[in-house]
Amino acid sequence: EAGVAQSPRYKIIEKRQSVAFWCNPISGHATLYWYQQILGQGPKLLIQFQNNGVVDDSQLPKDRFSAERLKGVDSTLKIQPAKLEDSAVYLCASSLDRASGNEQFFGPGTRLTVL
Amino acid sequence: QKEVEQDPGPLSVPEGAIVSLNCTYSNSAFQYFMWYRQYSRKGPELLMYTYSSGNKEDGRFTAQVDKSSKYISLFIRDSQPSDSATYLCAMSGSGSARQLTFGSGTQLTVLP
């Protein structure tokens, strides 16, 4: 079974630039999550999708962050414009459904550096 | 106060030692308790999953939950260099969303 795929693996940008991350969850997984993991901290949930609908985006900084999962499979997370404090690893995870959310499968993450 | 507190370490032990990792929490609504392992430059992977209070054993790993004290532990017996990683505790409530709240992680190194 293929795992959660993410790209790119690394990205370096200047502040005020924009950046986008892509995630392909495990086939058949209805629930998709985006997390931000700052160095030395645990992952923090940014947004949760159930199929192509948003379940929770309460911790997403909506003035600069946006995410979509148009066809209920792949998802993109965008930051525009980026700030220095956005430097982190952005993790995508998926679970079979919302009730299986305790067993999430994570991708390798995208390491973002904002200069 | 953070909802989940975890000693960041780092923790360094010799091969074969018993390792004890711990988390405390403040939210009484947490019902599910997980331990995720994260190797360097990788995403977290689920290691152990327990519901409510009690113990659960899986090979060299034992997870304990004491809801009365709001305290969870992970024990690793006969630790191996391959166990070197960051261990994250995670918790969720009984609601349908099952959203995880993570601790900050404990970095463990097992020395050969």
pLDDT digits (tens, 9 = 90+) for B34-47: 999 999 999 999 99
Which chain A residue has the Cα nearest residue B41? A108
Query: What pLDDT was estimated at residue B97?
Result: 62
A109 contacts on B by Cβ (under 8 Å): 41-43
Average pLDDT, chain A: 94
Query: What pLDDT was estimated at residue A71?
Result: 86
Percent of chain B with pLDDT over 70: 98
What residues form DSSP beta bridges with B50?
A: B33
Which of B45, B46, B88 comes nearest A42 by C-beta? B88
Give A47 or B9, the one with higher predicted confidence. A47
- From B16, B3, B35, select the one nearest B106 (Cα to Cα): B35
Distance CA B45, CA B7 (A): 19
User: How far apart, in Å, are the Cα atoms of A19 and each of A81, A92, B3, B50, B87?
Assistant: 8, 15, 31, 38, 29
Letter for the amino acid at A92? C
Helix (H, G, I), strand (E, B) or coil at A7: strand
**Is A102's CB within 8 Å of B92's CB?**
yes
Model confidence pLDDT, tens digit, residues B77-110: 999 999 999 999 999 987 766 789 999 999 999 9
Query: What pLDDT was estimated at residue A1?
Result: 64
Rounded to the nearest angstrom, the gap between the alpha carbon of residue B79 and the centroid of all alpha carbons in its chain is 15
**Is B44's CB within 8 Å of A91's CB?**
yes
